[in-house]
Chain A
Amino acid sequence: MMKPVNFGIDLGTTNSLIAKYDGNKVHIFKNPVGQKETLASVVAYRPDRILVGDKAREYLTKDPVNVFGNFKRKMGTDEKYYVVNIDDNVTPVQLSALVVKELKNFIYTGETPEACVITIPASFDTMQSNATLKAGQQAGFKDIFLLQEPIAASLAFFNESGDDIKKDGYWLVYDFGGGTFDAALVYSTDQELKVVDHEGNNFLGGTDFDFAIIEKIIVPEIVRQTGIENFEQELRVKYGKYEKLYYELLYYAEEAKKELSYSHSVVIEFSAEVNGKRYEFSISLTREKTDEIFLPIINETVNLLKKVMENNNLNAKDINQIVLVGGSTFVPQVREQLALQTGIPLNYSSDPTTSIAAGAAYYAANKYYESSTVEEIPGSEEVTDEILSKVEFTPPDLEIETSYNKSSRDKEEVLLLFCEGAYENKFFRIIRSDGGFDTGLISLKAKKTEFLPLVTSVTNLFNLSVYDSDHKEIKNLSRQISIAQGKYTVGGQPLPHDISIEVDDVENKTTKLEVIFERNSLLPQKRTLYREISKTIKKGSKDSVIINILEGDKSARPSSNLTIGCIKITGEDLKTDLVKGSDIEIQLHITDSRVLNTSVFLVMTQQEFTNVFSVSEKHISLDRLRDQYNQLENELVETIKQFQYNANDVWEIKANVLLEDLQSAKNKLFKLKDGDKSDEKYIIAQKIMNVSKESDKLGGNERISILIEEYFELKERVLEAISSTDFEKDEMRKKFQKIEQSEDSFIRSKNVSFIDSKLKQLHDLHWDALCNTTSFLISRYVLWKELPKEFYKDYSAARSLIKMADVSLEKEKYVEFRSQVFSLTHLMVSTDQNFNKDFKGTGIG
């Protein structure tokens, strides 16, 4: 069966890319390791593994007998590279094949392409072209189509520029990469696209700009400050004393070059030790200065371009446009000089870095090959898969077993691989899924160990792949390895419950829990919390900040948790007033033996308070206990009202019993003195905790289902209300998304008070949305303006506001109208103004 090729490869001298045409556009694949679209065309034979790409490039200058780049220039020659580490020769074709194979690993869609288009420079002769074909075959492609790079770039440009552009005639393709330059003259008609002529320089590229910045700007400044005349020579000495500085300077020069492509000036700042003395350097670089030093490099490229035109007796007016290709064409001076010196319009509509690969993919969309894959018959996928896996992929004589710790507290874990059967000439490779670790290809042995570095406090996923002697993946031997770092192991003790801190929810005059250490975290644990003080505390006053540490379910209300540590800082402890909004830092450390160390730092007063609690002792603040009591009592009263409204008689009776039980402790609790030495406060705390837990169980799963259903119904209404608002729409959408994001966690918590609190947030948002809708505001206003005197705190102020609002409404000034109506509501006598008026809170926001 004939299939379109669709895959295109830019096999470059410095970098390579792979792309696919998928129906209507081209998709450039990214390297799963590091997510870059480009792959360095460098291969390193390290002592026990083969690396391809950026990692290999790091060793290029340091280990030239084992690491190879720029081999594209040697394609089609009989040159071989002797590799010391493997004591064997490799050819440019083999090295190119390794690059193509590595590019195939970028294809995350699971496809294994059998055919592809590979681009070649316009200058490649038949031998070089055939060598490229051979590299493609060695990489596992059955059918390969070659395409000249300037044609590929033109194709990308034609496909992406639309139909309104004149395409017939001559085009220049200006390809300025990291290390090479090529200029090509392309002629296009309706029927064909051909390269007429070309020129190039294999040793001219964007890195020359970086060298120029170092040589012409940075070095003279270093010489000026240090007085060392021969500094430049010393800087360039291989393994010399300034080699480390040289690499730093190269990085700064490249960054400065990039920044100058969008800013007018840039400052390079660094410190360096020169002749045993430390110097601080701050070097200004302007566009004008780089214009001067980049010009000779740019002129070389322009001269080659002009040479192509002269050789073909063409003038600027004969050329439609210059198509820009290669990362160095991002440099503004390149574009300016090119336009200035040639007078030909420039075109950079397609991405210069990826346009050759994209053009190859467009070309591939119109090329067909005979596919050897068995087409899936609908309904028989399972059978086909089974047959294929047995026939094609399973080497019957190889088995691999892995052994490793599934959880670890170390920064790396050792993986043991045991192979049985035909493991010779086969390879394995392990890549960490976040892209931060890649072993490269390593030969399989009967027994092999590999150290896997772990990112702390997360589950690290590694993909182990196995390859045959041609570096083709043996799919059914691949597997995933999961190692949780920082999670509990046999040797460590997990926390049985969440440990949280109680913080204020000032708006709702209540407190809530914020988790510090989650259940099942491995002890010891350490964390610093940064919060703000939620109320001003005067120096010398009795007001206090309470750091209340609780253990229990993080989704429950604070009163359902057990207090395991408490620090109370009163105004008497303060050196100066502690102002609302100032910062508080709370450092918590829980040891293996579950001893809790708490350290509190008040940034404003620069005071530190420390305390050590043994979790076996209880610590209770009476103020907090009274707040908790009030909160729970209010919630129970509200719950009973809800049950009455919904006629849930049985639940109502049970809730009333709980309320009575709770209220039986009220008198004692509010009569207790601060220094009370009896057990009374502990007994009351226990009662509050029990009632709180029981209150969450009221109605069981049925109540939870009702609440969830109510949540989803309300969610729809809120969304609708937000879409019809006239003010602050974006703000409310953000609030809605925030609630929606936590949806999964609160539904899964199956905790009534948690779900209830989210419902309340949604109700508030609904009300906010309505109040930001002009039509709703008008309807409410019409009712409010007619309310009798006793409904307002200051009736005369209300009357004058009503007069102003009437005028705004008449003149359709809705912004003013809205603010006047809001002011009016503040003058109304609130029905719930006495709600929890004694709320003191923890003082932590």
Chain B
Amino acid sequence: MINPAHIINQLFEMQSKIKEGGVAQNFERNFNRLFSLFEEDGFIVQDPTGEAYAETRTDCEASISGRIGSKMKITRTIKPIIYQKKDGVVQLLQKAVVIVENN
């Protein structure tokens, strides 16, 4: 069986590329639907871009660009966070791979 996290990562990458290309709106509904299908199967996908970063965030594997500081922010997400919900219990399936910068 195909690992759902691999498919989610590919979708996420496609979505990121489309965003960079400036035509994201045309595909927004399709991506929402795809991620919603995964959510129905218990896979919750989160894009932490723009969120504050602290060393307590064990849901991300971060590379810190620039100097560290007190107002660090996730500026790029290469892989999203994936949680898996099974029998009502949520587990971290994949840590996000992110780049962090100080504001």
A46, A56, A58, A248 interface centre (most CB from chain B within 10 Å):
A58
Pairwise interchain contact B58-A437, C-beta atoms closer than 8 A: yes
Chain A residues whose C-beta falls within 8 Å of the C-beta of B103 in the assembled complex:
none
Interface size on A, residues (CB 8 A): 38
Q: Are B55 and A58 in touch, CB under 8 angstroms?
A: yes
Contact with A along B1-29 (1 / 0, CB 8 A): 00000000000000001001000000001
Contact (A528, B36) CB under 8 Å given A62-B67, A244-B99, A458-B85: yes
- Which chain A residues numbered 58 to 80 have a C-beta less than 8 Å away from chain B? 58-59, 62-63
Given A58-B63, A59-B64, A440-B56, A435 and B101 contact (CB-CB distance below 8 Å):
no
A528 contacts across to B, CB distance below 8 A:
32-33, 36
B residues less than 8 Å from A460 (CB atoms): 90
**Which single member of B20, B61, B76, B95 contacts A244 (CB below 8 Å)?**
B76
- Whether A34 lies near B36 (C-beta < 8 A) is no
* Residue-wise interface mask of A (677-703) relative to B, using a CB-CB cutoff of 8 A (1 in contact, 0 not): 000000000000000000000000000
CA of A438 to CA of B55, assembled, Å: 8
Please tell me if the beta carbons of A247 and B37 are within 8 angstroms of each other in the complex.
Answer: no
Cα-based distance from A55 to B54 in the complex (angstroms): 10
Task: Report the nearest B residue to A741, measured CB to CB.
Answer: B87
Complex interface: chain B residues within 8 A of A49 (CB)? 55
Q: Any chain B CB within 8 A of the CB of A434?
A: yes
Q: Contact at A434–B91, with CB atoms within 8 Å?
A: yes
B65 with A243: CB separation less than 8 A = yes
Interface hub of A248, A434, A458 (most chain B Cβ within 10 A):
A434
Q: Considering the chains assembled together, what is the distance between the CA atoms of A435 and B59 in angstroms?
A: 7
A831 proximity list for chain B (CB < 8 A): none
Complex Cα gap A455–B90 (Å): 9
Query: Do B58 and A248 touch across chains, with their CB atoms under 8 A apart?
Result: no
Contacts of B95 in A (CB 8 A): 34, 436
Q: Which of A49, A55, A278 has the most CB of B within 10 A?
A: A55
Given the contacts A34-B58, A51-B55, A585-B33, A435 and B67 also touching, CB distance less than 8 Å: no
Query: How near does chain B come to A634, taking the closest CB pair, in angstroms?
Result: 31
For residue A555, give the distance in angstroms from its CB to the closest CB of chain B: 18
CA of A357 to CA of B72, assembled, Å: 36
Select B68's contact among A62, A243, A244, A530, beta carbons within 8 Å.
Answer: A62
- Is B57 at the interface (CB under 8 A from chain A)? yes
Binary flags per residue of A415-446, CB closer than 8 Å to B gives 1, else 0: 00000000000000000001111111000000
Bound: A128/B91 CA distance, A = 40
Q: Which of A51, A440, A458 has the most CB of B within 10 A?
A: A458
User: A residues 244-263 with Cβ under 8 Å of B?
Assistant: 244, 247-248, 250-251
Residues of B close to A530: CB separation below 8 A? 33, 36-37
Task: Using known A-B contacts A437-B57, A437-B58, determine if residue A585 contacts B29 with beta carbons closer than 8 Å.
Answer: yes
User: Would A251 and B17 count as touching, CB distance under 8 A?
Assistant: no
Q: Does A54 contact B (CB under 8 A)?
A: yes
Asked whether B75 is an interface residue with its Cβ less than 8 Å from the other chain, the reply is yes
The distance in angstroms between the C-alpha atoms of A34 and B92, with both chains bound, is 7
Q: How far is the CA of A437 from the CA of B51 in the complex (A)?
A: 14
Interface secondary structure of B, over-half rule: strand
A33 in the interface, Cβ–Cβ < 8 Å?
yes
Q: Which residues of A contact B85 (CB under 8 A)?
A: 458
Q: Which of B61-103 contact A (CB under 8 A)?
A: 61-68, 75-76, 78, 81, 83, 85, 90-92, 95, 97, 99, 101
Instruction: State whether B44 touches A455 (Cβ < 8 A).
Output: yes
In angstroms, Cα B75 to Cα A466, docked, is 34
Interface residues of B in 24-48 (CB under 8 A from A): 29, 32-33, 36-37, 44
Q: Which residue of the partner chain A has the closest CB to B94? A: A34
Contact bitstring A266-286, B, C-beta under 8 A = 1, else 0: 000001000000100000000
Q: Which residues of A contact B32 (CB under 8 A)?
A: 528
**Contact check: which of B37, B61, B76 meets A54 at CB < 8 Å?**
B61
Tell me if B63 and A250 are in contact (CB < 8 A).
yes
In the assembled complex, how far is the CB of residue B29 from the closest CB belonging to chain A, in whole angstroms? 7
**B56, B66, B76 interface centre (most CB from chain A within 10 Å):** B56
Minimal Cβ-Cβ distance residue in A for B57? A437
Q: Does B97 contact A436, Cβ atoms closer than 8 Å?
A: no
Interface centre among A54, A55, A271, A436 (most CB of B within 10 A): A436
Taking a contact as CB atoms under 8 Å apart, the answer to whether B90 and A458 are in contact is: yes
What A residues does B68 contact at CB under 8 A?
Answer: 59, 62-63
* Residues in chain A near residue B29, CB distance under 8 A: 585, 601
CB-based nearest B residue for A36: B95
> Which chain A positions have C-beta within 8 A of B63?
58, 247-248, 250-251
Within 8 A of B (CB), among A439-472: 439-440, 453, 455, 458, 460
Does A645 have its Cβ within 8 Å of any Cβ on chain B?
A: no
Q: From residue B66, how far is it (CB to closest CB) to chain A in Å?
A: 6
Which residues of chain B come closer than 8 Å to A89, judged between CB atoms? none
Contact of A436 among B55, B57, B78, B99 (CB under 8 A): B57
A250 to B65 alpha-carbon distance, docked (Å): 13
In the assembled complex, the Cα of A693 lies from the Cα of B33 at a distance in Å of: 36
Provided the pairs A34-B92, A435-B91 are in contact, do residues A455 and B58 lie with their beta carbons within 8 angstroms? no
A44 at the interface (CB under 8 A from B): yes
Which residue of chain A has its CB nearest to the CB of B13?
A269
- Is A312's beta carbon under 8 Å from chain B? no
Question: Which chain B residues lie closer than 8 Å to A51 at the CB level?
Answer: 55
- Against B, the Cβ 8 Å flags (1 = close, 0 = not) of A628-668 are 00000000000000000000000000000000000000000
Bound complex: CA A585 to CA B30 (Å) = 11
Q: Quick one: which of A35-56 are within 8 Å of B by CB?
A: 35, 44, 46, 49, 51, 54-56
Q: Indicate whether A244 sits within 8 Å of B65 (C-beta atoms), given known contacts A271-B17, A434-B90, A528-B32.
A: yes
| B92 close to A436 (CB less than 8 A) | yes
From A744, which residue of chain B is reached at the shortest CB distance?
Answer: B87
A537 to B66, CA, bound (A): 59
Is the beta-carbon distance between B55 and A44 smaller than 8 angstroms?
Answer: yes
> Is there contact, CB below 8 Å, between B90 and A271?
no
Chain B residues whose C-beta falls within 8 Å of the C-beta of A439 in the assembled complex: 56
Instruction: State in angstroms the CA–CA spacing of A54 and B58 once bound together.
Output: 9
**Inter-chain contact B92/A438, CB cutoff 8 Å:** no
Cβ-defined contact, B78 with A248, below 8 A: yes
Q: Give 1 or 0 for each of A574-601: 1 = CB within 8 Å of chain B CB.
A: 0000000000010000000000000001
Residues of A within 8 A of B92 (CB): 34-35, 434-436
A438 touching B58, Cβ below 8 Å? yes
A713 to B6, CA, bound (A): 42
B76 x A436 contact (CB < 8 A):
no
A239 within 8 A of B: yes
Q: Which residue of B lies closest to A51 (CB)?
A: B55
CB-based contact A434/B83 at 8 Å: yes
Is A247's CB under 8 angstroms from B91's CB?
no
Residues of A within 8 A of B33 (CB): 528, 530, 585
Q: Provide 6 A-B residue pairs closer than 8 Å at the C-beta atoms, listed in order of the A residue.
A: A58-B55, A239-B67, A247-B65, A436-B83, A455-B90, A528-B32
Binding site for A on B (CB under 8 A): 17, 20, 29, 32-33, 36-37, 44, 55-59, 61-68, 75-76, 78, 81, 83, 85, 90-92, 95, 97, 99, 101
5 more CB-based (< 8 A) A-B contacts, given A55-B55, A453-B56, A585-B29: A34-B58, A59-B55, A244-B99, A436-B95, A455-B83
